[in-house]
Amino acid sequence: MRVLKPELTGKMKLFADNYLANGLNATQAYLEAGYKVKSEAAAASAASRLLRNVKVIAYIDYQMDIIEKSKIAEATEVLQTLTRIMRREETEDQVVITKNPTAVRLESAEGDYYDKFAYEESAEVVQTRTKNSDVVRAADLIGKYHKMWTDKFDIDGNMDLKVVVDYGDGGNEAPDDS
């Protein structure tokens, strides 16, 4: 059910928007909306009254509905993502550690210099294509969505059934019970 967006005054709308932005802190939202009050307690009381206003409640519910819907993926978005994975258009970040040989010049106890070989490790983030197992899984999920793997068939049609009982007397009528 789609809720209509209620009309509010400028300050009421600002209060409701601040209320949502400030983590549901009504007093702070009331003060930030520009209402003039003598004390924070008066602001808290007035904010509480505003939160009981039907239009303000409806507006906050409307905005919360929009926020919640934007967090949930629609079926089309899910199918598009699975299709990109299946076509190997998506990439993943992989950390690759490489060992680079390096020579370190050392001095022996006798005063001679010699080279000692060691490895320096360095980490690098590399973009890789989707793994084959992910491609197969995405294709499987798309196939399940389209019911490609089901053996059931939905048959629609007129399934009227007419039963004729033959009692052996040559006619098609049932005997009288009299």
Q: Are residues 58 and 109 in the same domain?
A: no
Q: Are residues 85 and 140 in the same domain?
A: yes
Per-residue tens of pLDDT for the chain, all 178 residues: 455 677 888 889 999 998 988 888 899 999 999 999 899 999 999 999 999 999 999 999 998 888 888 888 888 888 999 999 999 999 999 999 999 888 888 888 888 888 888 888 889 999 999 889 999 999 999 988 888 877 766 667 777 878 888 887 765 555 555 5
Residue 123 near residue 93, CB atoms below 8 Å: no
User: Would you say residue 2 lies in a domain?
Assistant: no
Q: Are residues 86 and 157 in the same domain?
A: yes
User: Would you say residue 27 lies in a domain?
Assistant: yes
Task: Name the DSSP class of 150.
Answer: -
Give the pLDDT of residue 2.
Answer: 52
User: Would you say residue 150 lies in a domain?
Assistant: yes
The backbone torsions φ and ψ at residue 170, rounded to the nearest 5 degrees and listed phi first, read 90, -15
Q: Are residues 154 and 83 in the same domain?
A: yes
Give the pLDDT of residue 170.
Answer: 60
User: Would you say residue 105 lies in a domain?
Assistant: yes
Number of structural domains found in the chain:
3
Give the pLDDT of residue 145.
Answer: 86
Rounded to whole angstroms, the Cα distance separating 81 from 141 reads 11
Give the pLDDT of residue 27.
Answer: 92
The backbone torsions φ and ψ at residue 99, rounded to the nearest 5 degrees and listed phi first, read -110, 115
CATH value at residue 53: 1.10.10.1400
Q: Are residues 83 and 164 in the same domain?
A: yes
pLDDT for 68-120, tens place per residue?
888 888 888 889 999 999 999 999 999 999 998 888 888 888 888 888 888 88
Cα 24 to Cα 15, 17, 69: the distances in Å are 10, 10, 19
Q: Are residues 125 and 115 in the same domain?
A: yes
Q: Are residues 82 and 112 in the same domain?
A: no
Q: Are residues 168 and 145 in the same domain?
A: yes
- Give residue 26's domain range: 10-71
Residue 35 near residue 15, CB atoms below 8 Å: yes
Grouping H, G, I as helix, E, B as strand and the rest as coil, residue 6 is coil
Q: Are residues 26 and 36 in the same domain?
A: yes
Q: Are residues 164 and 83 in the same domain?
A: yes
Q: Are residues 86 and 146 in the same domain?
A: yes
